[in-house]
């Protein structure tokens, strides 16, 4: 079962995303910000995907992406934000993000985005 680390500073959004992913057949772990996510990854970096919000403190999604690509380049990162500024998206893709999912999104959009990243890995 693929494992996804959900990184989101809003607890209700984080829990909702994790529950949706679990219903879709994924195993999930949760972190409230990039710093917590890095702590989790230091203990266990066997995740198949990181789904992270962009705007968080103290470590935002873009800096989390940069650190993940430096330390754990095998883990794809899907960023999400309500503030989908083109320059952020371009920088995220340059830094190695596997995709960007604008908020708000519905279950099918989340499923498609996750599966588009994980399916090629199964082949």
pLDDT for residue 84 is more than 90: no
The pTM of the full predicted model, rounded to 2 decimals, is 0.93
**Averaged pLDDT of the chain:** 92
34-52 confidence digits (pLDDT tens): 999 999 999 999 999 999 9
Domains of the chain in sequence order: 3-122 (3.40.50.2300)
Q: Which residues pair with 6 in a beta bridge?
A: 30, 51
Could you give the angle at which helices 11-23 and 107-122 cross, rounded to 10 degrees?
Answer: 60
Q: β-strand 77-81 against 99-102: which pairing, if any?
A: parallel
7-20 confidence digits (pLDDT tens): 999 999 999 999 99
Q: What pLDDT band is residue 86 in, cutting at 50, 70 and 90?
A: confident
CA dihedral 53, 41, 68, 7 (to 10 degrees): 0
pLDDT of residue 123: 46
pLDDT of residue 102: 87
pLDDT of residue 51: 98
pLDDT for residue 83 is more than 80: no
């Amino acid at each position: 079962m693929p494992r996804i680390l959900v990184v989101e500073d809003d607890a209700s959004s984080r829990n909702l995303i994790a529950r949706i992913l679990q219903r879709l057949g994924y195993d999930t772990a949760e972190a409230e910000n990039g710093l917590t996510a890095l702590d989790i990854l230091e203990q266990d970096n066997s995740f198949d995907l990181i789904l992270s919000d962009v705007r968080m403190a103290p470590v935002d999604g873009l800096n989390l992406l940069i650190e993940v690509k430096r330390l754990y380049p095998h883990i794809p990162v899907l960023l999400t934000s309500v503030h989908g500024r083109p320059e952020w998206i371009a920088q995220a893709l340059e830094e190695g993000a596997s995709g960007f999912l604008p908020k708000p999104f519905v279950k099918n959009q989340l499923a498609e985005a996750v599966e588009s990243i994980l399916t090629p890995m199964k082949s």
